[in-house]
Chains A and B, each alone.
Chain A
Amino acid sequence: MPALVLYIVAAILLGGVIALLLRPRHPAGAGEPCTPASSAEFFPVHCRYFPQVRHALSREDAPYLAGRGSPVVYRRWRKAIRRAGCLYLAGLREDFSRLNRLARLLSLYSAQVKVGQEAELFRLNLYFQLLYGIVWWRFVLGRPAGDRLEQMASLIGRLGSRLEQATLPPELSSGAITP
Chain B
Amino acid sequence: MDLLSLSGIVAAIVAPLELAVCALALRRRLWRPLPFFVAYLVLLVLIDSGRWAVLLFTGMNSPTYSWAYWMTQPVHILARGAALADICRATLGPYVGVWRLARPLLMLAATLMLVFAAVHSNGTHWISSYLIFLERELEFAVVISLLVLLLLSRYYGLVLERPLDSIALGLGFYSSFVIIKDTIILVVRNLPYWWFSLANSVAFAITLGFWCYALWAPLPERARPQLSTAESYERNSREVSDRMRELNERLLNLIK
Check if A121 sits within 8 Å of B241, measured CB to CB.
yes
Check if A12 sits within 8 Å of B233, measured CB to CB.
no
Check if B250 sits within 8 Å of A151, measured CB to CB.
yes
Contact among B146, B156, B173, B183 with A108 in the assembled complex (CB-CB below 8 Å) = B156
Check if A124 sits within 8 Å of B245, measured CB to CB.
yes
B 181-220 to A, binary, CB cutoff 8 A, 1 in contact else 0:
0011001100000000000000000000000000000001
Given contacts A3-B183, A7-B179, A152-B247, contact A107 B241 (CB under 8 A): no
Check if A12 sits within 8 Å of B176, measured CB to CB.
yes
A45 to B101, CA, bound (A): 32
Given contacts A21-B154, A22-B169, A111-B227, contact A162 B239 (CB under 8 A): yes
B244 interface residue, CB < 8 Å from A? yes
Of residues 75 to 124 in A, which have CB atoms within 8 Å of B's CB atoms?
96, 99-115, 117-118, 120-121, 124
A171 to B227, CA, bound (A): 9
Contact among B155, B160, B177, B188 with A104 in the assembled complex (CB-CB below 8 Å) = B155
Q: How large is the interface on B (under 10, 10 to 19, 20 to 34, 35 or more residues)?
A: 35 or more
A132 to B222, CA, bound (A): 39
Check if B253 sits within 8 Å of A148, measured CB to CB.
yes
User: Of B13-21, B73-81, B92-100, which binds chain A?
Assistant: B92-100
Contact among A4, A18, A169 with B226 in the assembled complex (CB-CB below 8 Å) = A169
Check if A103 sits within 8 Å of B234, measured CB to CB.
no
B118 interface residue, CB < 8 Å from A? no
Chain A neighbourhood of B98, CB < 8 A: 107-108, 113
Given contacts A114-B234, A128-B244, contact A138 B254 (CB under 8 A): yes
A67 interface residue, CB < 8 Å from B? no
Given contacts A30-B159, A145-B254, A155-B243, contact A112 B97 (CB under 8 A): yes
B3 interface residue, CB < 8 Å from A? no
Check if A111 sits within 8 Å of B244, measured CB to CB.
no
Chain A neighbourhood of B97, CB < 8 A: 107-108, 110-113
Besides A18-B172, A120-B241, A171-B225, 13 other A-B contacts (C-beta < 8 A): A15-B143, A26-B159, A31-B161, A31-B222, A34-B157, A101-B157, A108-B97, A113-B101, A117-B234, A135-B255, A152-B251, A167-B236, A169-B228
User: Which A residues contact B (CB, under 8 angstroms)?
Assistant: 1, 3-4, 7-8, 10-12, 14-15, 17-19, 21-22, 24-26, 30-34, 96, 99-115, 117-118, 120-121, 124-125, 127-128, 131-132, 134-135, 138, 145, 148, 151-152, 155-156, 158-159, 162-163, 166-171
28 contacts between A and B (CB under 8 A): A3-B187, A4-B187, A7-B180, A8-B179, A8-B180, A11-B177, A12-B180, A15-B172, A18-B143, A34-B157, A104-B156, A104-B157, A107-B237, A109-B228, A111-B230, A112-B97, A112-B230, A114-B237, A115-B101, A128-B251, A131-B254, A134-B251, A145-B254, A152-B247, A155-B243, A163-B243, A169-B228, A171-B226
